[in-house]
Structure 1
Amino acid sequence: MALEGLRRGIQGALGRLRGKRTIDEEELRAMVRDLRRALLSADFNVRQTKEITDRLERRMKEDEPRPGVTLQTHAMNIIYMELVRMLGAPKEIIPFNQRVLMVGLYGQGKTTTTAKMAAWWKRKHKLDIGVIEADVHRPGAYAQLCQLLEPHGIDVYGEPENPDAASIVKNGIVSLGNKDVLIVDTAGRDQLDEDLQAELLDIADLVKATETLLVIDAQVGQAAGPVAAKFHELVGVTGVIVTKMDGTARGGGALSAVATTGSPIVFIGEGERVEDLEKFEGDRFISRLLGMGDIQGLIDLAPEDLDQEEAMRLTERLMSGRFSLNDMSQQMEMMSKIGTVDRILSHLPAGMFGGLGAMGRSQKEQMQGNLERFKVIMDSMTSHEKDEPQVLKAERIRRIAKGSGVNEKDVRELLAQWNRSRKMMKGIRGNRQLRKQMKSMMSDDTDFELPM
């Protein structure tokens, strides 16, 4: 999960309220001080940090918690509303008849993001997408884009030997102008110099973009604000994509700085796969950040080729209390289609499934490694062994370990994990509300609200 340090910092600050029904001035100041430190550590600027913490302090004094709401939850709700207010309303992009101009500085992940967005548009809206590669300054940009988009059946136009970006765009529009969505990737620079400005203006005049999207690396932190402002002045930025949110603690600075410019954040990138692009909605992002979860977002992660009927059958089987290694294997296969352990668990409420959603990054990485190793181990088991794991005694364990190239300890760890999962499923079976929620998660027409 992006901004994991900020999440821990906020939860640590609010931990001062755990079990309390009232709070005195000294305790409130200490909590606000901890929250201020957490926001500044995530690279939020001083003005925004002061505004958020001052409003929290004032509202904690003036607003009464709703009946049945703890003081800690009351403070969490206030922080949620203040952060969502800061990020602003989500921007809606009409999917059809779009010409999108991608701009940004050098090294921000613009070409990769162009591929991600093209694949996202095709996956979500089933449209005919075309991409023009107009970066004539970086060798291999066209080849990179072709390689990323070939598996998705998206046409890419480029002229690798042509040094004139404007002529490439002009020819590309002739070639791909009938596409539902046309995306134009442009060159970046180390700074917004005169040559880049002139080239961008020429391209913008040709494209006549319906959307001009600025790509910014989260690592730039608060510097994202001035960069966004300069590009907006030049070509009229209509939205911002913040990349590499999973690789820095400064992502809060990038998000908050962009928010001050008035340019809405439309996507965020986490991960290296073409599928690792997420439509940005401030309320759902902050909900995940604060450990409230985002079940609808988890549903949105599911790929088109995920067998919904099979998923429902598996859910029904788990709810019945039956849970074999075969079931566990199917679970793991579905998870691998949706994404990494980190992406999946970041969408769960922190307390769900025994606190899986609150796991730290190192724990998630260890779980990811275990899942990949467990798949190999189960490939060395017979169908009977996977259906009836209780038969796996010492001799069978030795054979499986040898066949899968692992230690016997690894096989026993798989069995221990299966046993823990089986007990968890028994607990879910006895929880009617959670059982209903899990079944609802398999339905696309279900709306989930935040636990406010």
Structure 2
Amino acid sequence: MKDLTDSLSKLVDKIRGASHIDEETLKEVLKDLQRALLKADVDVKLVYELTKSIEEEYRKEEPPSGISSKDYLLYLIYNKLISIMGGETEAKVELTKRPYVILLVGTEGSGKTTSAGKMAYWFSRKGYRVGLIETDTVRPGAHDQLRQLAEKLNIPFHVDPNSKDAVDIALKGLEKMRKEKVDLIIIDTAGRHRNEEELMKEIKEIYNAVTPDEVVLVIDSTMGKQAAAQAEAFNRNVPINSIFLTKMDSTSRGGGALASVVRTGAKIKFVGSGEYLEDVELFNAKKFVQRLLGMGNLEELMERMKSIEEEDQVLMELSEGKFNMLTFMKQLESMTKLGPLSKLLQMLPMTMLPAPMRSLNDDQLEDAQIRMRRWLAVMRSMTREELMDPSVLDASRIKRIALGSGTTPKDVRELIRQYELMKKMVGELKRSQRRLGRFIKQ
């Protein structure tokens, strides 16, 4: 991935170094982006669609107030790259039962057994007790490799080099792991290619026998855009729930593999980036793109853009007469970003302020600031359901929210009263606008 990172970092520097983004600079930047992605083996059609959408959006929209044309172009590139690498939703790991069973599948040489060890390491570090089972009766040394990984991690394992019945090995392994009371069981299988019907038949039999909670397909990222065909082929035979991409450190084609797999609808969960067990991480498209772009110097820009988007969303919701606790929270967060309340009030004309706020002294302003911070703590302890519909807040929920936010039930009820007051004001404002509209039409 180093080549892609180097190319995109140079692209960022080029945009930053431009005096302004004129027509010629925009075309150069988009061509450089196309070259970098094509070199990383990203599909040609996808590259074209990506750069076309960046160009159209850049020409169509004016940069938000306070954002330069250079920063806006960087922001668009960042967002579009995230979209082709999987979107902003972070991979999730949930063991919904004990023991939770994961079946690893993939072609020969993709790094399944090593990936089994890396996953075992990752889950062990999270406090789970993990067990490994090796069902590969084809590859010489598969059992020894898994045994060595398990012993290194000091976790239970099951191998049977004398058996040629992969299903029997899997079932006996499951029985052993249940006796060991493990939280997670990872079953490694033999490597297989799409034309190896016997091996594909075997994996179906293992799947039906062990009924895993999750099937993880291990893909070698050196395959580039061909990774999509592999994901689709396996998915026709067993339901693939998630993907483990290996060798992301040793190939310039990793971006192509990642983008093509995402396009199939598959969820990338883990990424392996080295030979050691600890060289594994939960996949996060946002962080991945940040590394590609050398995002250290761009983080502040992204925060500013996010803040502007949130403020625009709040204004739109208010103009439409929509108001819930989530809108209220966004309002307060936007206000706190502007600094102390006293300074904020100084920036506003006196005629814009409600009468009671025009005569507040410093102590009263400080008290208001403290209440705002307390209310934010309360709202951040609420579920999304509660923020969207505060009417569900009963005594039990209020007690839980108070405990989680380090406040009291009295504080939570104070927030609810303030929210109801604000909601009423927004409703009255909307009704006034409608009445004014009817008057103007007459």
| TM-score scaled by length of structure 2 | 0.63
> Equivalent residue for 1:217?
220
Calculate percent identity across the aligned residue pairs: 38
For 2:47 and 2:221, locate their aligned partners in 1 and report how far apart those are by CA, in whole Å. Answer: 18
Report if aligned partners of 1:106, 1:189 keep a CA contact under 8 Å in 2: yes
Shift of 1:206: 1.4
Deviations 1:354-379 (A, max 9, x none): xxxxxxxxxxxxxxxxxxxxxxxxxx
Shift of 1:203: 0.3
Partner residue of 1:112 out of 111, 114, 119:
114
Q: 1:62 to 1:74 in 2, by over 3 A?
A: same
Deviations 1:44-72 (A, max 9, x none): 00111011111111122223333443433
Structure 2 spans left out of the alignment, 5+ residues = 300-442
Give the residue type in structure 1 aligned to 2:103. Answer: L
Shift of 1:94: 0.6
Shift of 1:289: 1.4
> Equivalent residue for 2:241?
238
For 1:40 and 1:28, locate their aligned partners in 2 and report how far apart those are by CA, in whole Å. Answer: 18
| Secondary structure in 2 matching 1:268 | strand
For 1:11 and 1:173, locate their aligned partners in 2 and report how far apart those are by CA, in whole Å. Answer: 48
Q: 1:19 to 1:107 in 2, by over 3 A?
A: closer
Give the residue type in structure 2 aligned to 1:122. Answer: S
> Equivalent residue for 1:228?
231
Give the residue type in structure 2 aligned to 1:169. Answer: A
Shift of 1:38: 0.7
Give the residue type in structure 2 aligned to 1:176. Answer: M
Q: 1:11 to 1:65 in 2, by over 3 A?
A: farther
Deviations 1:375-408 (A, max 9, x none): xxxxxxxxxxxxxxxxxxxxxxxxxxxxxxxxxx
Structure 1 spans left out of the alignment, 5+ residues = 297-452
For 2:257 and 2:27, locate their aligned partners in 1 and report how far apart those are by CA, in whole Å. Answer: 27
| Secondary structure in 1 matching 2:8 | helix
Does structure 1 residue 197 correspond to structure 2 residue 200?
A: yes
For 1:161 and 1:231, locate their aligned partners in 2 and report how far apart those are by CA, in whole Å. Answer: 28
Does structure 1 residue 7 correspond to structure 2 residue 5?
A: yes
Q: Which moved more, 1:20-29 or 1:156-165?
A: 20-29
Question: Superposed, which structure 2 residues align to 1:115-126 within 5 Å?
Answer: 115-124=117-126, 126=127
Deviations 1:403-436 (A, max 9, x none): xxxxxxxxxxxxxxxxxxxxxxxxxxxxxxxxxx
Report if aligned partners of 1:18, 1:72 keep a CA contact under 8 Å in 2: yes
> Equivalent residue for 2:277?
274
Shift of 1:190: 4.0
For 1:232 and 1:83, locate their aligned partners in 2 and report how far apart those are by CA, in whole Å. Answer: 26
Give the residue type in structure 2 aligned to 1:134. Answer: T
Report if aligned partners of 1:17, 1:71 keep a CA contact under 8 Å in 2: no
Q: 1:10 to 1:255 in 2, by over 3 A?
A: same
Partner residue of 2:36 out of 35, 38, 48:
38
Question: Superposed, which structure 2 residues align to 1:299-310 within 5 Å?
Answer: none
Question: Superposed, which structure 2 residues align to 1:395-410 within 5 Å?
Answer: none
Does structure 1 residue 284 correspond to structure 2 residue 284?
A: no
Q: Which moved more, 1:23-32 or 1:260-269?
A: 23-32
For 1:175 and 1:205, locate their aligned partners in 2 and report how far apart those are by CA, in whole Å. Answer: 19
Shift of 1:149: 2.1
Give the residue type in structure 1 aligned to 2:284. Answer: E
Question: What's the Cα RMSD here?
Answer: 2.0
Report if aligned partners of 1:14, 1:75 keep a CA contact under 8 Å in 2: no
Deviations 1:274-312 (A, max 9, x none): 111110011111112111149x9xxxxxxxxxxxxxxxx
For 2:170 and 2:255, locate their aligned partners in 1 and report how far apart those are by CA, in whole Å. Answer: 35
For 1:270 and 1:251, locate their aligned partners in 2 and report how far apart those are by CA, in whole Å. Answer: 10
Give the residue type in structure 1 aligned to 2:93. Answer: I
Does structure 1 residue 90 correspond to structure 2 residue 58?
A: no
For 1:102 and 1:119, locate their aligned partners in 2 and report how far apart those are by CA, in whole Å. Answer: 15
Larger Rg: 2
Deviations 1:151-179 (A, max 9, x none): 22211101011111011011111111342
> Equivalent residue for 1:63?
61
For 1:148 and 1:192, locate their aligned partners in 2 and report how far apart those are by CA, in whole Å. Answer: 30
Query: Would you say how many aligned residue pairs link Structure 1 and Structure 2?
Result: 293
| Secondary structure in 2 matching 1:247 | coil
Give the residue type in structure 2 aligned to 1:272. Answer: E
Shift of 1:23: 2.4
Q: 1:59 to 1:183 in 2, by over 3 A?
A: same
Give the residue type in structure 2 aligned to 1:164. Answer: D
Question: Superposed, which structure 2 residues align to 1:65-80 within 5 Å?
Answer: 65-80=63-78
Deviations 1:123-164 (A, max 9, x none): 12x111111100110111111111112122211101011111
For 1:12 and 1:203, locate their aligned partners in 2 and report how far apart those are by CA, in whole Å. Answer: 48
For 2:148 and 2:70, locate their aligned partners in 1 and report how far apart those are by CA, in whole Å. Answer: 49
| Secondary structure in 2 matching 1:246 | coil
Report if aligned partners of 1:105, 1:192 keep a CA contact under 8 Å in 2: no
Does structure 1 residue 132 correspond to structure 2 residue 130?
A: no
For 1:69 and 1:4, locate their aligned partners in 2 and report how far apart those are by CA, in whole Å. Answer: 30
For 2:278 and 2:15, locate their aligned partners in 1 and report how far apart those are by CA, in whole Å. Answer: 39
Give the residue type in structure 2 aligned to 1:100. Answer: I
Report if aligned partners of 1:119, 1:149 keep a CA contact under 8 Å in 2: no
For 1:281 and 1:262, locate their aligned partners in 2 and report how far apart those are by CA, in whole Å. Answer: 16
Shift of 1:20: 4.0
Does structure 1 residue 158 correspond to structure 2 residue 159?
A: yes
| Secondary structure in 2 matching 1:18 | helix
Does structure 1 residue 256 correspond to structure 2 residue 254?
A: no
